[in-house]
Chains A and B, each alone.
Chain A
Amino acid sequence: MATALRASGLTKDFARLRAVDGLELEVPEGEVFGFLGPNGAGKTTTLRLLCALISPSAGTAEVAGFRLGRDDSRIRAAVGILTEQPGLYERLTALENLLFFATLYGLTPGTARGQAERYLRLMGLWDRRGDAVATFSRGMKQKMAIARAVLHEPRLVFLDEPTTGLDPDAARTVRDFIVALRGEGRTVFLCTHNLDEADRLCDRIAFFRRRVIRLDTPANLRAELYGRATVFDILPEPRPEDLARVARVEGVREVFRENGALVVESDDPLVTNPRVVRVLVDGGAEVTYVTDRRPHLEDVYLRIVEPETAPRSTTEARSTTEARSAPEARSAPEARG
């Protein structure tokens, strides 16, 4: 598969601040790529670099087949960007806004009209095409801005917080639209704080803080950090001796209490779980439920990007031996991208 985006050692300095530090990244065409990081991590700067809006201090990048710094105008023609703010001309109508930008992208008047109609209809705004944008709600403006970003059919679309401030219905329209873009073979570079959204939409996710800290599929990130975990609801509540007993079971990597239940991590739950149930029952506990534990991407994010603020209830209540707590050792930031 062709590469939509490749960055090598991409760096951006502002005076004494290094906003982006040697970004290494490769995104294949047709992928929804999640770009996650805390505020001030340099995500917007990275977006601006990759859209040829600002020039790098060092490093190279190839975007949509064009070389950054050499083909900047062609990069801007080949990509679409949804900026943090919708940035629409409020006194112009929805249609006038789109036709104006279509002209700047070099679309012929006929094509511009057709594209504007297509995306206004897709976003459910066709009936409001003659209204000034100033009369639109936040969600409608955001949908307008997304329509503007894809009006010229870019191969690569950069979306900065596309669903921020939207009601659930509008957010769903936007998410469906992102899925449709992928269906057309377009690449979507999604900057978001919405981890649930990233989890649902993204093929791969990069955790970013000035550089890529970790990059993988959401499933792999979860599995790598938390292993395969199972929740055992037992009566009475888990006692220290239950934890100690389960920790000794062959195949158990880690066991800890969470929300009044036992969480057991193992490499092969199909083999390990029956053993755990037997040990618990033999110890006098009643096992009421056994369920697969699917950690939220938020947990993964916090452990990788902001380990100091990760929920302490999960990490502090652990009762296994140090030798078995391998995930902690793996959570140290390391660049892989």
Chain B
Amino acid sequence: MSAPATLARSPERGAIVRAICVREWREAAGNKLLVGMTFLPPVVILAVGILLVAVAARNPPSVKDVQAIYAAAPATAGLDPVEAVQGLIATYFLILFMMIPTVVPLTIAIYSVIGEKGAHTLEPLLATPTGVGQLLLAKSLASTIPAVLVTWLAYAIYLASVLALGSRAAAKAVTAPGWLLAMVVMVPLLTLLSVNLGIFISTRVNDVRVAQQIGGLIVVPVLGLGIAQISGRVVLNGEAFAQTALLLLVADIVVFVAARIAFQRENILVRWR
């Protein structure tokens, strides 16, 4: 008797990516710790940011505070003290918003890979006709999409709150074209960088906490750049913005290639422990 023909066909790339993303999200939704770690940073940043802008609007700063602000942020010099304080707070929290696309997707990506290692689900996955490139792409998107959406949602809420509660300076700060562009362009680029870094690190370690500690270092340059900008040491004008975006894009490609090299079928099965 001849064996019946297999039903397997070359799977459509879109269908694979969609299936993997949906599967990852369903799994993630069932992981309370991961859900908590995904939503906690934006919720905390959002709540504290809105609260401080609201408090600053009701309580004028002292002379000493104003002098300290002018010294720390020369860009605010000449503004009305109340305006300056709110503007500074609003801008400072915008920098913290840029941390969301580095912290949140990192956690999701790390759980995505280390979780599969621990559950021994990678071998059956790799035994299908799916290419490892498709698998990596799908995993990247599965971590990137929710992180970008969470960041944008948090920014939208923050924007609405500051416009409703804050001063003109605060409103101007959060709607500055540079920041809007950063949200649209930098957030996805930063998220991708964080995700692929998370995947790359996860190929090397088995402990989620160790991976998070290593991956968490990505926050440092982001924070440094933001503080430098507030303090006037770096001015993110059009040219600097384009350069930063280009740098991020290159970093994204480099880290993706590194993750792709680490994410080889044989490496995963034989060398990953």
Contacts and interface: CB of A to CB of B under 8 A. Distances in A.
Interface of A: 2, 4, 14, 29-30, 48, 51, 53-55, 73-74, 76-78, 81, 83-92, 96, 100-101, 103-107, 111, 115, 132, 145, 148, 152-156, 183-187
A74 B1 contact: no
24 contacts: A2-B2, A14-B270, A29-B2, A54-B266, A76-B128, A85-B120, A85-B123, A87-B119, A87-B120, A87-B122, A87-B123, A90-B119, A92-B23, A96-B26, A101-B124, A103-B11, A104-B125, A104-B130, A105-B7, A105-B8, A106-B15, A153-B7, A155-B5, A184-B1
A54 B270 contact: yes
A154 B269 contact: no
B75 interface: no
A77 B129 contact: yes
Given A48-B269, A53-B127, A87-B120, A78 B26 contact: no
Nearest to B12: A106
B7 A107 contact: yes
B119 A89 contact: yes
Contact of A107 (B9, B130, B266, B269): B9
Contacts of B30: 91, 132
Given A103-B19, A104-B125, A152-B7, 6 more contacts: A87-B120, A87-B122, A100-B23, A105-B7, A105-B128, A106-B12
Nearest to B267: A54
Contact of B26 (A14, A92, A148, A154): A92
Chain B interface size, under 10 / 10 to 19 / 20 to 34 / 35 or more: 35 or more
Interface in B212-269: 265-266, 269
Nearest to B130: A104
B6 A77 contact: yes
B89 interface: no
Interface of B: 1-12, 15-16, 19, 23, 26-27, 30-31, 119-131, 265-266, 269-270
Contact of A111 (B7, B12, B16, B120): B7
Given A91-B31, A96-B26, A106-B12, A53 B6 contact: no
Given A92-B23, A104-B19, A30 B3 contact: yes
Nearest to A45: B270
Q: Considering the complex of A and B, which 9 residue pairs feature the smallest CB-CB distances, nearest first?
A: A106-B9, A185-B1, A91-B30, A85-B120, A106-B11, A77-B8, A104-B128, A103-B19, A152-B8
B119 A106 contact: no
A107 B19 CA distance: 12
Contact of B8 (A100, A107, A145, A185): A107
A73 B126 CA distance: 10
A162 to B, nearest CB: 14
Nearest to A81: B127
Residue among B4, B119, B128 having the largest count of chain A Cβ atoms under 10 Å: B128
Contacts of B1: 30, 183-185
Contacts of A148: 124
Given A83-B120, A87-B123, A92-B23, A53 B2 contact: no
A27 to B, nearest CB: 12
Contacts of A187: 3
A53 B119 contact: no
B120 to A, nearest CB: 4
Contacts of B6: 77-78, 152-155
A103 B15 contact: yes
A29 B125 CA distance: 26
A53 B130 contact: no
Given A53-B266, A81-B124, A185-B2, A104 B7 contact: no
Given A87-B121, A100-B19, A106-B10, A153 B127 contact: no
B124 A145 contact: yes
Nearest to A155: B3
A76 B27 contact: no
Contact of B129 (A14, A55, A106, A153): A106
A185 B127 contact: no
Given A104-B125, A104-B130, A115-B7, A55 B23 contact: no
A54 B267 CA distance: 9
Contacts of B131: 73
Contacts of A184: 1, 3-4
Contacts of B26: 91-92, 96
Given A87-B119, A115-B7, A105 B124 contact: no
B3 to A, nearest CB: 4
A322 to B, nearest CB: 47
B27 A92 contact: yes
